[in-house]
Amino acid sequence: MTDAQAQRRPFVAGMYDCYLGGTANSEADRAAVDRIKAVLPEIGESAWANRGFLQRAVKRMASDWGIRQFIDLGAGLPTQRHTHEVLADVVAEGGRVVYVDNDPAVISRGEEILAGVTGTALVLADLREMEKILSHPGTRRLIDLREPVGLLFVAVTQFVPDEEDPWALVARYLDAVPSGSYLALSAPTGDNQSERIVEAVRKIYADTPTPGTVRSRAEVARFFDGLSIVPPYPGAPAAVDYVGLWGAEDPQAADDDSSRWFYAAVARKP
C-alpha cells in the first residue's frame, strides 16, 4: 500500500481519537466516523464510556492497590486524558506507562505528544508479539516484572479473531506478571443490540486494517478465568458488566444505552 492509499483508508486509532473529540485523526478517519454516527449516533458517548472505564480502573489500581507500572496494549494515541495523565494525578513521581500499538503513525504522533514526559515509553508492536513487547528496551527500562503490573486491554481484544484464541493470548500476559497484578479489559458486544446496526458498523470497520469481532458476556468473562474479579461498584456481584457501570458513583444513571456496547471488568491475579 502506498502512502497516498494509506491516507485514504481509515485507521482504528484515528477513528477512536475522533470519537473522543481529538484532532489526531485523518479525513478518512472522520469520514468513517460520520458513516458510523449515521447508524449509531451514540458512538461518541460509547467511546467516552470506555475511556472513563480506563481512567477509573487506572486510578483505582494506583490509589487503592498500589500499582505503579502499567502496560497499555493497543493503546492508540496518548491523548484525551490517557493512562499516564490519570496515573500522574495519583502518583507524584515513580509512575510508569508503556504504550503499545501496531500503527507506525500512532507511535510517531505519540512520540511528539509524549516528548519530555518522564516515565512513559512507546512500543511499535502487535499485541500478539508478547515477547517483543516485554523485551523491548522501553519496557525493560520502565517495567519490573518482579513487581505487580497493571495490564490494560481496553477495547483491543476484538481485533484478535476467535481462531487466533485471544483468551490464550491474554492468559500468556498474565503468566508473565506476578501475583498481585491486575487486568483491566473491555470489549465490544452485540448482546441485546440491533443486528442491523451491529452489521452496519462491522462493515465500516471492515474497511480498516483491523476489523473487529463483537463478543457475548460469556465470551468476555472467559478472559478473567482464574482471576479474582473486583465488583464493579459497591453491592454489585463480582462479574463482568457494562462498561459504564465499573466504578460508577451512580450505577443507575451510568447504565445507559451508550455504555451497553462494551463489557468490562477488572480482576486481580492471585
Q: How far apart are CA 206 and CA 238, in angstroms?
A: 34
CA 60 to chain centre: 16
pLDDT value for 93: 87
Contact call for residues 227 and 172 (beta carbons, < 8 A): no
Q: Give per-10-residue mean pLDDT for the chain (270 aa).
A: 53 81 83 83 82 95 97 87 93 93 90 94 97 98 98 95 96 98 95 77 73 91 98 96 93 83 96
Question: Which residue type does 246 have?
Answer: W
| Domain ranges for the chain | 3-268
pLDDT score of 79: 74
Whole-number Å distance between alpha carbons of 62 and 103: 28
- For the whole model, what pTM was predicted? 0.87
Q: How far apart are CA 89 and CA 79, in angstroms?
A: 15
Q: What is the pLDDT of residue 162?
A: 95
3-268: CATH superfamily? Vaccinia Virus protein VP39 (3.40.50.150)
Cell numbers found for residue 250? 451512580
Cell of 179: 501475583
Nearest C-alpha neighbor of 12 from the set 254, 20, 4? 20
Q: Is there a contact between 128 and 106 (Cβ–Cβ < 8 Å)?
A: no
